[in-house]
Amino acid sequence: MKNIRPLLLLLIALLAGWAIGLYSTQHFYDKWIRRYQTHSALDGVNDRLTALTALRAGDTNGTAELLESQLDGQVMALGAMLQTMPDGQLQPRDLRLLAQLRDYRAAHPRKTGEPEIDQIIANVLSSTNSQNHP
């Protein structure tokens, strides 16, 4: 009986730790996810509202620059994700979008005025060529 008691206490402590850890992780993770999704949605609303306001005011050049800048940011974020993604993981629709992106930037080259950003974007576009991600 004496030998079983420490093992039973250990098992109870492990189960209690597991339950507390599970609850804490779910609670804080769910909060973080909701906060992230809310901020992401608000950013999207702000982006569209700014573009629509500029378009309605007739500022097509400003709108185009805004959209180009947003595209650059998304290209940089995509590049970070593609670095860790094994070849063959992209879906055909993703590959078509990457091809459209390369074609768009080839037809409409853009410089941000920030050489580091321009280089990152150029690296992302060259890394999404048909060899790596057809």
**Which structural domain range is residue 23 located in?**
1-58
CB 62 within 8 A of CB 103: no
Residue 45: inside a domain, yes or no?
yes
Token duo for residue 49: 């509202």
Q: Is residue 63 part of a domain?
A: no
Nearest one of 130, 32, 119 to 75, comparing CA atoms: 119
CA terminus-to-terminus distance, the chain: 67
SS3 assignment, position 134: coil
Provide the whole-model pTM.
0.66
Cβ contact 128:102 at 8 Å:
yes
Q: What are the tens digits of pLDDT across the range 99-128?
A: 899 899 999 999 998 999 999 998 888 876
* pLDDT tens figures, 10-48: 889 999 999 898 888 888 888 888 888 898 898 889 988
Average pLDDT over residues 70-85: 88
Decide which of 128 and 98 is more confident.
Answer: 98
Q: For residue 132, is it within any domain?
A: no
**C-alpha angle 113-54-63 in degrees, rounded to nearest 5:** 35
Domains held by the chain: number: 1
Residue 131 in any domain: the answer is: no
In angstroms, rounded to a whole number, what is the distance separating the alpha carbons of residues 121 and 115?
Answer: 10
